[in-house]
Amino acid sequence: MSGVVYWLDMAGVIVFALSGVILACRSRMDPIGMLVLAAVTGIGGGTLRDLVLGVRPVFWVTDPTYLWVILATVSVSLVGFHYIHRLSRGFLPIADAFGLALFTVIGTHKALLLGSSGTVAVLMGMMTGVAGGMVRDVLAQRVPMVLREEVYATAAMAGGIIYVVLHALSAPLMLAIAASISVTLGLRLAAIHWHLALPVFAWVTVPPKTHDQSTAPLSTPRKAKERVRIIRRERKKP
């Protein structure tokens, strides 16, 4: 792995670990809880990726620097706990978006480096970006963002596709990285700012149509029916 990709990976670990610390603070966890959430967020996705790709041992066992970076992030956060606790609630999704963009390109790059197909590489990039956050949210008793209607996994998939396409076209590494990060981050931040969301398919009860009893007094009452409807989330006014 090139030096640029390695440092991007470290940056992603720091950003995701910080998002774990912030959520731990809001969930009123102790320092051990903060460390656990920071660790699963920072290295959880990459660990699952390596296990699926058959990489033994996983990356943080080979290079314990990742663990020290997570520990340092938590330690600095404990010192500045007062300031972190006062961060606006909008900071967590933004930090998560940066981590998602960085980890998406890292996962896609590593999968291609190991000889995986483009489709597998896109899935590995998405897994690297979303799996750690999923475990973090579950431990904090929240519905993971990837399971909501928000544009989250879709952004990671789009970024991975861009990287795979540019790699297939033999584009320079820095161009592929920059384009992938820009697409993923741009889509995710746009979804946060404009409250963009995917439609939700759900079973709804459709009430029967009302009839004028004076014109059709002998008509048989109609029952309510179950139908599949697309539910779109209403955009919040700024």
Residue pLDDT, tens place only, 9-28: 999 999 999 999 999 988 98
**84 and 102 share one domain:** yes
State percent of the chain over pLDDT 90.
66
**37 and 107 share one domain:** yes
**190 and 138 share one domain:** yes
Task: Say which amino acid occupies 17.
Answer: A
* Cβ-based neighbours of 122, under 8 Å, separated by 6 or more: 108, 157, 160, 161, 164
pLDDT score recorded for residue 238: 44
Q: Residue 124 pLDDT more than 50?
A: yes
Domain assignment of residue 238, yes or no: no
Q: Residue 153 pLDDT more than 90?
A: yes
- Among residues 75, 85, 59, which one has the least CA distance to residue 14? 75
**116 and 224 share one domain:** no
Domain assignment of residue 130, yes or no: yes
* Cβ-based neighbours of 93, under 8 Å, separated by 6 or more: 145, 192
Mean pLDDT value across the chain? 87
Average pLDDT, stretch 130-148?
91
pLDDT score recorded for residue 206: 63
Q: Which residues form the domain of 214?
A: 200-231
**178 and 225 share one domain:** no
Domain tally, the chain: 2
- Among residues 221, 61, 29, which one has the least CA distance to residue 140? 29
Q: Residue 73 pLDDT more than 90?
A: yes
**189 and 220 share one domain:** no
**190 and 212 share one domain:** no
**144 and 211 share one domain:** no
**122 and 223 share one domain:** no
Q: Which long-range contacts (CB under 8 A, 24 or more apart) does 201-204 make?
A: 201/228, 201/229, 201/230, 201/231, 202/228, 202/229, 202/231, 203/227, 203/228, 203/229, 204/228, 204/229, 204/231
67: helix, coil or strand? helix
- Among residues 40, 179, 61, which one has the least CA distance to residue 109? 179
Query: 59: buried, middle or exposed (CB in 10 Å: 19+, 13-18, 0-12)?
Result: middle
pLDDT digits (tens, 9 = 90+) for 154-211: 999 999 999 999 999 999 999 999 999 999 999 999 999 998 887 777 666 666 666 5
pLDDT score recorded for residue 61: 96
63: helix, coil or strand? coil
Total number of residues shown for the chain: 238
**68 and 164 share one domain:** yes
Q: Answer yes or no: are the C-beta atoms of 124 and 164 closer than 8 Å.
A: no
Q: Residue 149 pLDDT more than 50?
A: yes
Average pLDDT, stretch 136-153?
87
Domain assignment of residue 53, yes or no: yes
